[in-house]
Amino acid sequence: MHYLEVKDLSFYYDQEPVLSDISFDINPGEFVILTGENGAAKSTLIKTCLGLLKPNKGSVVLSKLNKDGQTLRIGYIPQQIASFNAGFPSTVIELVKSGRYVDGKWFKKLNEDDYDHVQKALESVGMWSYRNKRVGELSGGQKQRIAIARMFASDPDFFVLDEPITGMDKESRTKFYKLMHHNAHTHGKAVLMVTHNTEDVIEYADRHIRLVRDEDTTWNCFNLTCEDCRKLGDQ
């Protein structure tokens, strides 16, 4: 089954074509990266896939159900999500706990399983020891990591990540890639991640969707398995 199926998608800003005839799918159990030059409309494509923008042509189909027949849960990290200011009142653990209030259940009492998810989410990004600090006091990279931890706490089936590694050092990036690979291959999650760091992530990803264009034309996509990418890199 596909969690996401995009077919012949085109998108315009006013009358200006931006994306043209984009087709790809995302399936449970795979880690897919999306790349392209600056200005390649990668974020526009992500927002269109999630229904935040409406395509001018073509279709986008998001599955309603996950591979187990339950409602599909999507975890979305947009660009610059970690722009909390110094006055942000929440503690780290309070923010990540809010990820457990899914499906509009804002007044439910968190149970032991919820707290276990929160702790594991913070530990997975190396932020458990910061759990009682105020979010606004953290560095940009630390804020990015707790935003990711909140997403992990919600236990999504489909991760949609727009430049999630901003502000992370190489060690943190590598741990993150390994974590996403583990989620896809061990837990059957689907991952679609926008990134510029192709060389860092290529050994962990399964497929590479690259937005390309000919001169003075709209962006289109070129779909490779990451095994193909590795072979190209060896030439």
Looking at the domain that runs over 1-73+158-170+183-235, which CATH code has it been given?
A: 3.40.50.300
Task: Name the nearest CA neighbour of 66 among 170, 163, 186, 157.
Answer: 157
The pLDDT of residue 101 is: 81
* Residue 208 φ then ψ, to 5°: -125, 115
Residue 183 pLDDT more than 70?
yes
- Mean pLDDT of all residues in the chain? 85
Question: Residue 166: beta bridge partners?
Answer: none
Average pLDDT over residues 79-96: 79
Contact 29, 23 (CB under 8 A): no
| Alpha-carbon distances of 124 from 46, 86, 155, 163, rounded to whole Å | 25, 24, 13, 18
Contact 70, 48 (CB under 8 A): no
The domain locations on the chain are 1-73+158-170+183-235, 82-155
Q: Which residues, 6+ apart, have CB-to-CB distance to 107 below 8 Å? A: none
Chain segment 195-216, per-residue pLDDT in tens = 987 888 989 999 999 888 766 6
